[in-house]
Amino acid sequence: MHEILLDAPLDMHLHLRDGAMLEFVAPLSARDFAGAVIMPNLVPPVDTLERLHRYRAAVATATAGHRFAPYHTLFFRAYNEAELLAARPFIIGVKLYPEGVTTNSAAGVSDIAAAAETFGLLERLGIPLLVHGESHGFVLDREAEFLAVYDWLARSFPHLMIVMEHITTAAAVDLLDRHTNLFATITLHHLIITLDDLAGGLLNPHLFCKPIAKRPADRDALLAAALNGHPKVMFGSDSAPHPRDKKEAAGCAAGVFSAPVAVPLLVDLFAQHNALDRLPAFLSQNAQRIYGIQPPIKQLRIRAESWQVPLQYGEVVPFMAGRTIDWRVVTP
């Protein structure tokens, strides 16, 4: 029987929500991953030490019994040095959302240049800046328009570690190689789908997310970077659960729920491209090196065995619902 072993898979961009949704989805990530970067876009956002500690406790409870390290983040605002020093031992970075660009980002930043003082503080304190990089322009151009902001940030704060979250364009992949302090995460769905899968035929709301999936040439550039184990690129699912009635609705919420299928689908994708030897870089080693983290020791055994993705996990429709996947996680 064909099996492969994966050491410490890491999801460097994950939405776990709070309350009942957190309790339901967190174990699905904690089962297949050794750690994950937990995004802070709750309402209200995680932007005080008190909320951070409360959220850390809730995530710890929801993932109890699993070998799983939650790497927490603070929601970006104009923090002072004392606040950042107090939070630093408990966070892996600060997550910046431009105001209003996606789910729960109403408290995001409206004028990025005006936040220079905080960027300088993060740089001096060695705290990474994680960015949802989209402008308020035409939806297909939002990431491309934001690349100038990344360029400005990388040049103005050369010692600030900047992660371009969930990149979706070939131009973003190109930008990575122009600044030593720029890194990126790529989702599973952006390695597979294009705008056609979402809206080219019958509308599929379960593939609607921000940033929106782009052109085949963009998808191919992302895929090439992942399959080559590009040293500045990490896997980040951006798994973002919304209840089915919020997705199959006028005013569909943005987000693809991929957590329970991410590892087997990545194995399948890399196997199809004869690139399984590059998967550990994309799924674990690059992130460990870039962030300087040592996740818990955890080895996943994945077997060449078909299974059908459930149509729903609780109230949430997963990525590839109902489809057959040829690889199955058999441990832990």
Task: Give me the active site residues, please.
Answer: 238
Q: Are 111 and 55 in contact (CB under 8 A)?
A: no
Q: Does 286 bind ligand DOR (CB under 6 A)?
A: no
The DSSP string of 30-84 is: HHH-SEEEEP---SS-S-SHHHHHHHHHHHHHHTTTS--EEEEEEEPS---HHHH
Asked if omega into 158 is within 30° of 0 (cis), the reply is no
The nearest distance, CB 39 to Zn ion, in angstroms, is 5
Q: Which residue's CB atom is positioned nearest to Zn ion?
A: 238
Strands 233-235 and 3-7: unpaired
227 makes contact, choosing from Zn ion, ligand DOR, none, with CB < 5 to 8 Å by partner type, with none
Q: Are 151 and 224 in contact (CB under 8 A)?
A: no
The nearest distance, CB 98 to ligand DOR, in angstroms, is 11
Contacts to ligand DOR from residues 90-149, by CB under 6 A: 102-103, 132
214 makes contact, choosing from Zn ion, ligand DOR, none, with CB < 5 to 8 Å by partner type, with none
Residue closer to ligand DOR (CB basis): 167 or 302 = 167
Overall size of the chain counted in residues: 332
Residue closer to Zn ion (CB basis): 11 or 32 = 11
Query: 121 Cβ partners below 8 Å, 6+ apart?
Result: 79, 80, 81, 84
Contacts to ligand DOR from residues 38-57, by CB under 6 A: 41
Contacts to Zn ion from residues 229-268, by CB under 5 A: 238
Residue closer to ligand DOR (CB basis): 129 or 267 = 129
Residue closer to ligand DOR (CB basis): 8 or 209 = 209
9 makes contact, choosing from ligand DOR, Zn ion, none, with CB < 5 to 8 Å by partner type, with none
Residue closer to ligand DOR (CB basis): 69 or 130 = 130
The nearest distance, CB 328 to Zn ion, in angstroms, is 27
Query: 38 Cβ partners below 8 Å, 6+ apart?
Result: 14, 15, 16, 55, 59, 70, 71, 72, 73
Q: Angle at CA 31, nearest 5°, toward 295 and 16? A: 85
Contacts to ligand DOR from residues 255-274, by CB under 6 A: 255
Binding region for Zn ion (CB under 5 A): 238
List residues binding ligand DOR (CB under 6 A): 15, 41, 102-103, 132, 209-210, 238, 240, 254-255
